[in-house]
Structure 1
Amino acid sequence: MFKKISLFFIITVGFSSVYAQQNIPFRITKYNNIIVKTLVNKKDSLDLMFQIAMKDASISPDRQRKTDHIVFNKDGISENNTVQIGKFTLNNVQFFDHELTGHEADGKIGTAMFSGKAFKIDYDNNRFVIYDKQPDLEGYQPITLLYDHEQFFIAGDNVIGDQQEEAYFLLQSGYAGGLLYSNEFADAKGLDKKLKITGEKTLKNSSGKSVVTKQGVLPNFKLGNAVLKDVSAGFFAGDLKTQTVNYFGADMLRRFNWIFDADRKTAYIKPSKYFSEPYYKIN
């Protein structure tokens, strides 16, 4: 993994002395992506996709809305921007240009808007909650976080055949599907033979080398004491194998409400209203 450029947001928030929290509304697309409506530099109205696997912000080359007031230098970086999300304001925001994002989004925004605070992804009520004090954890179970290079990793148990295999997964809200396995894990565990394969697609690059994506069904996946059945699980085959980490995608993330502690050492999860919904199908 490559270390990403750190970004520090100065967050100006007025916390209620009673509730000690700030709410930020979002919407969920049919691709399971979280979209927040923003006003950048008090001029550009943009829909930005929340990307939990990054801390910075970025603009997509496929954006639908104008970004006339975000000025990039020759390296494709724009500094000292403000981002308003409702009554919530971020100052000194750094944007990167020409980074692909999810459907219906003009760019991405990362986790720096929660810098130094505990925060909640509340899928039941379509909102983020930023806490100034210890949140109410009733009904939640703790799971250990590995926070590395500003990215979140969790351990989950994969039941493959008669074996239970633990693996670490990167929380990846930009991937619409369920689980996506690294090449190393897929090859070592023989997923091509052990999973029920439901779909396959082959692409070739300019050199004629093939990239094969396969979709399968994992009988059981355990996160903490929560067990999900018949989970959608993808992996790569063919000549080119570039997937270096396992993904815990947006379709899995939405099945829980999440609270992340301020130290980024523990996450607390509770099944959301999407826990038993049908799995997203990768085309």
Structure 2
Amino acid sequence: MLKKTGFLLLLSVGFISIKAQQTIPFRVTKYNNIIVKTLVNKKDSLDLMFQIAMKDGAISPERQRKADHIVFNKEEISEHNTVDIGSMSWRDFTFTDNQLSGLESDGKIGTGLFEGKTFKIDYDSNQFVIYDQKPDLKGFQPIKVTFENEVFHIFGDNVLDGAKQQETSFALQSGYSGGILYSNDFAEKYDLNKKLKIIGEKTLKNSSNKLLMIKQGILPSFQIGDFVFKDAPVGFFAGELKTQHVSYFGADMMRRFIWVFDADRKMAYIKPSQYYSEPYYKIN
């Protein structure tokens, strides 16, 4: 009888541990963007790009699929929408209209999927994992994060020209296909146009469809936690439009790690993913 009771207890514990987490599958495009298949308002099947730098969602004017059941007001806002992914459902998602998104997507969806929960971005298994309790973090390195206005910020060390490391804050930006992108302030303060080997210039559009001039250079060394990247291509904003006040840690750098973010958004935990040593993404 004791053996039977013990066996049933083990089954119960196993069942509880399985139920303590849920998964959301995704795919990673050749542009390093994460795409999640969603059903919005039980009617619109949309491929939405995961944007870690926002909470809710947005619909792109360049979408390939119809979003006829998302009703926007005069301010191009739609509230109280439902989102279904597999067997999971969310209510009260807000969508903004006419925001550009990554290629192969109909719009964006943010961290509202994980509100109040610890979650993992697993680039090795192509899935998000949502936890009800803190998971096993063996093999992960902790790094401090700040979470302000629905945006995660981390710190990285930058070596420009043999000088000492210059620590700066980066906003995690999974919508930007490239790696490190410096703000106007950082670029001017450290004179990146002269201190970096310049390898090109690109013109990009932001989510509001404004054109931004970006120069590309080679950074001798970049470090996050104990992880060091040598001769990394980086971008910085140039030209007269000086509106970029935040540096980005983009999708090409994010994909090089598996990430776990704690529920109170004060710590993240990282370890190398299968993409850690992949060639750097080239912005065309």
Does 2:16 correspond to 1:17? Answer: yes
- Distance in 2 between the 1:71 and 1:128 partners? 28
Pairs within 5 Å for 1:113-124 = 113-124=113-124
Larger radius of gyration: 2
Gaps of 5+ in 1: 1-15, 204-209
Contact 1:48–1:106 (Cα < 8 Å) also in 2:
yes
1:247 is matched with which residue? 248
Equivalent residue letter for 2:16: S
Q: What's the Cα RMSD here?
A: 1.4
Pairs within 5 Å for 1:83-98 = 83-98=83-98
Deviation of the 1:129 alpha carbon: 0.3
1:189 is matched with which residue? 190
1:7 is matched with which residue? none
CA deviations over 1:19-51 (Å, ceiling 9, x no partner): 310000000011100000001111110000000
- The count of aligned residue pairs is 262
- Distance in 2 between the 1:155 and 1:221 partners? 11
Contact 1:211–1:239 (Cα < 8 Å) also in 2:
no
1:11 is matched with which residue? none
- Distance in 2 between the 1:159 and 1:22 partners? 40
Deviation of the 1:64 alpha carbon: 0.6
Change (3 A) 1:135 1:238: same
Contact 1:177–1:280 (Cα < 8 Å) also in 2:
yes
Does 2:213 correspond to 1:215? Answer: no
CA deviations over 1:221-263 (Å, ceiling 9, x no partner): 1100011122120012222222111000000000000000001
- Distance in 2 between the 1:202 and 1:113 partners? 32
2:75 is matched with which residue? 75
Q: TM-score, normalised by structure 1?
A: 0.90
Gaps of 5+ in 2: 1-14, 205-210
Change (3 A) 1:202 1:117: closer
1:100 is matched with which residue? 100
1:5 is matched with which residue? none
Sequence identity of aligned pairs in percent? 67
Equivalent residue letter for 2:37: K
2:227 is matched with which residue? 226
